[in-house]
Amino acid sequence: MPQLTSTRTLPWYAIPWVVNGWRQVKRYPLVSVAILVFVLIIPAIFAPVVAPHDPYFGNLSHRLTPPVWQDGGTMNHILGTDKLGRDMLSRIIYGARVSLTVSLIAIFVGGIIGTVLGLISGYFGGKIDAVIMRLVDISLSLPTILLALVLVAAVGPSFGTVITVLIVLLWARYARLTRGETLAMKERDFIARARVAGASNTRIMFKYIFPNVVNSLIVLATLQVGYVILLESALSFLGAGLPRAEPAWGVMVADGRELIVTAWWVSMFPGLAIMLTVLSLNLLGDWLRDHLDPKLRNL
């Protein structure tokens, strides 16, 4: 009788190699940092220098030119062009600047608001804590897309609209984290000694408690960059984010959704940039969490 053979999607001898490779990527952040540097940071900072074309200028005679390695491609447009004849590589490079700017502003402003309110809530407690925590619950319960659509209907899609939505959604996460750390920290002996020495409440919060919360805030901020980029891209994809003319990654993915069969590169390359950036930031955030937390460092 013929022997039955089992089919595997992955050879058995390749499984340990794949698992070990993934562990190495998670253990060493250099891979994630390298991806971030070449996909996000360098394009964002040096966009006018490295971009080969004006991201806003289109030439209809060159519309939907395929990438250079396909038939009909040209070295003048390495990653092809979109339906308006705009260079895809240039728009992806400038899109990195948009994503990084939105993320830094939203996380910086939202982080400051949330950290200050979290310190106040955790340190003073009582009615102040109850009011701030109810605001946190309200903020976390707001539907992101609905809030963005309401603001867009009221004031129109703009850079400020996206920033406002992101700040409203982000500050509560920092407030909740800071409050939890503050509740545990304010019972320590060195805080009691500071009170006996006559230190004011403001001095205790920002000189003694805040430095002990910074590590957790850094990890959260690192993870939030990827979350913000993904959220901004989703809002732009739905038309509730940046204006359609802006070279934002989410806008570019939305522009190519109806051309995914005939001109796959219009959506594929900005989507790949989003995926690599968010994945690298999440891996880097995991490494920072393990490195900065003494309890996880030796696991």
Share of the chain above pLDDT 90, in %: 16
Domain segments of the chain as ranges: 35-48+87-297
Question: Would you tell me how many other CB atoms lie within 10 Å of the CB of residue 147?
Answer: 17
The answer to whether 114 and 172 are in contact (CB under 8 A) is yes
Q: Residue 295: its pLDDT value, please?
A: 52
Instruction: Specify the CATH number of the domain 35-48+87-297.
Output: 1.10.3720.10
- pTM score, whole prediction: 0.79
Q: What does the pLDDT average to over 195-224?
A: 87
pLDDT at 1: 43
Question: What pLDDT, on a 0 to 100 scale, did the predictor assign at position 294?
Answer: 53
Flag whether pLDDT at 298 surpasses 70.
no
Across the chain, mean pLDDT equals 82
Band of pLDDT at residue 21, cut at 50, 70 and 90: low
* Per-residue pLDDT tens digits for 252-267: 888 888 888 888 888 8
Tens of pLDDT, residues 169-208: 889 999 999 999 999 888 888 888 888 888 888 888 988 8
Residue pLDDT, tens place only, 47-86:
888 888 889 888 888 888 889 888 888 888 888 898 888 9
